[in-house]
C-alpha cells in the first residue's frame, strides 16, 4: 500500500470513529443502553460510506472489513465510559463537523479511485459526509442536521469540491486531502461558532440551513 492510500485508510478510520461517537452521543441524549449506543454508532459511522458504495456499485467497504464496525463499537464504549454530561450537544456538533469534513474528502477520493467523473465524485463526497448524520438524527428523533439554521451540506460540498478540483489539476497527495478537510471543517466551524447561513427563501416559516 503506498503512502497516499495508507493515509486515506487512516482518514477513513478516523471519520468512522468520529461519526460513530456522534451516534453514541445521540443515544446518550436519550439515555439508552449500551446495545443501542453501539447500534447508533455503527449506523452513523458506516451509513454514508454504505450509501456511497451501493451507488457506485462497489463492494460495501465494511462487509469484508469488520474492523470498521469494531471502531464504531470502540467509539460507543468511549462515550459510554467517559460521558460528557451537559456538554453532550456541543461535543456532538464538533465531532459531527470533524466527521463530515473527513468523509467529504474520503467519499470523493474513493469515487475518483473507482473511475467516477469529477462531478459524480463531488456528489459522492457530499452524500458520504451527510447521510450518516441524517440516519442518526432520524433514529434519535432529533431535528435533522439538514434543517438546522447554520449551513452544513455546503461545507461538505466545499471540502469535496476543493479535493476534486485539486485532483483534476494533478495534485494527488496527502496534503490534497488535508486541504479539502480543512476547508470543509473551517466553514462548518464558522457556521457553528458564528451562525453562518445561506440566504433563505423569502417565504413563511423558519428558514433552514444547508
How confident is the model over 124-146, as a mean pLDDT?
88
Question: What share of the chain has pLDDT > 90, as a percent?
Answer: 58
Under a CB-based contact definition with an 8 Å cutoff, are residues 125 and 104 in contact? yes
Q: Find the radius of gyration of the CA atoms of the chain.
A: 16
CA–CA distances in Å: residue 171 to residues 121, 180, 200: 16, 12, 36
Global pTM reads 0.88
Q: Residue 101 has which C-alpha cell? A: 469534513
Would you kindly state where each structural domain of the chain is located, as residue ranges?
3-194
Residue 63 makes CB contacts below 8 A (sequence gap 6+) with none
**pLDDT number for residue 186:** 97
- Tell me the pLDDT of the chain averaged across its residues: 88
Q: Please give the Cα distance from 159 to 64 (Å, whole number).
A: 28
Query: Is it the case that residue 1 has pLDDT exceeding 60?
Result: no
Q: Residue 98 has which C-alpha cell? A: 470533524
Q: Please give the Cα distance from 111 to 15 (Å, whole number).
A: 16
Angle formed by the axes of helices 153-168 and 174-194, nearest 10°:
160
Q: Please give the Cα distance from 36 to 55 (Å, whole number).
A: 27
pLDDT in tens, 55-88: 999 999 999 998 999 999 999 999 998 876 666 6
Closest Cα to residue 77, out of 27, 113, 120? Answer: 27
CA–CA distances in Å: residue 210 to residues 109, 146, 202: 22, 6, 16
3-state class percentages of the chain: helix first, strand second, coil last, to nearest 5: 75, 0, 25
pLDDT in tens, 18-68: 999 989 988 888 889 999 999 999 999 999 999 999 999 999 999 999 899
Amino acid at each position: 500500500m503506498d503512502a497516499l492510500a495508507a493515509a486515506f485508510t487512516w482518514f477513513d478510520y478516523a471519520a468512522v470513529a468520529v461519526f460513530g461517537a456522534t451516534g453514541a452521543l445521540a443515544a446518550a441524549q436519550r439515555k439508552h443502553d449500551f446495545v443501542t449506543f453501539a447500534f447508533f454508532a455503527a449506523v452513523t459511522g458506516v451509513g454514508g460510506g454504505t450509501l456511497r458504495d451501493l451507488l457506485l456499485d462497489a463492494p460495501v467497504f465494511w462487509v469484508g472489513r469488520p474492523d470498521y464496525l469494531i471502531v464504531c463499537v470502540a467509539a460507543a464504549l468511549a462515550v459510554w465510559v467517559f460521558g460528557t454530561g451537559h456538554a453532550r450537544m456541543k461535543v456532538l456538533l464538533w465531532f459531527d463537523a470533524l466527521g463530515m469534513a473527513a468523509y467529504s474528502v474520503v467519499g470523493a477520493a474513493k469515487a475518483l479511485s473507482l473511475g467516477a467523473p469529477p462531478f459524480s465524485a463531488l456528489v459522492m463526497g457530499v452524500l458520504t459526509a451527510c447521510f450518516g448524520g441524517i440516519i442518526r438524527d432520524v433514529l434519535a428523533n432529533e431535528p435533522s442536521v439538514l434543517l438546522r439554521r447554520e449551513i452544513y451540506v455546503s461545507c461538505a460540498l466545499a471540502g469535496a469540491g476543493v479535493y476534486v478540483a485539486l485532483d483534476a489539476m494533478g495534485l494527488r497527495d496527502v496534503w490534497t486531502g488535508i486541504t479539502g478537510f480543512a476547508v470543509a471543517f473551517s466553514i462548518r466551524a464558522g457556521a457553528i461558532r458564528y451562525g453562518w447561513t445561506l440566504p433563505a427563501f423569502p417565504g413563511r416559516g423558519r428558514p433552514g440551513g444547508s
